[in-house]
Structure 1
């Protein structure tokens, strides 16, 4: 198993303006200064201060998912489904890990 990286990945996704209740108004947020954002955040521990100059950040373009039809052994599918919701995501993560390992070694 490969060691986990200590860097942070930020995925670049197009963000649509969401202003309904409970959603972030990104136009309003984008117009605010850093000082205004800090003042609104206050002492909320859920939003710690981040020193972006010190952060190890890697911007990653999102990978577009494609629907495919694949035949897998029933016990393999049962194994992943038994672990709960998100079995397709887990299968994708394992395949990605294998792919990245092969790209590094070969």
Structure 2
């Protein structure tokens, strides 16, 4: 078992070493505040590829998370169509129930 030594050096765990360099787009999308007061709100959030402009606004009620068991071939068919496959399942279900 390893020993917990509070005097040991952190080593390569310095977050500043791993932080990506900020781009102009990141600064443009970031929240700006002075003295704790927000001067400009953020216009997006930072994703793996840089600035993402955010999710669409909620229309009416929020979606409900559920657990649903589907046949593997059904899931595979929707996944083959690429990102957004869960939303396409939702659209297909809405059509079937007449919404």
TM > 0.5: no
**Hey, which of these two has a bigger chunk of strand by percent?**
2
**Hey, which of these two has a bigger chunk of helix by percent?**
1
Structure with greater contact order relative to length (CA < 8 Å, sep ≥ 6)? 1
Q: TM-score, normalised by structure 2?
A: 0.40
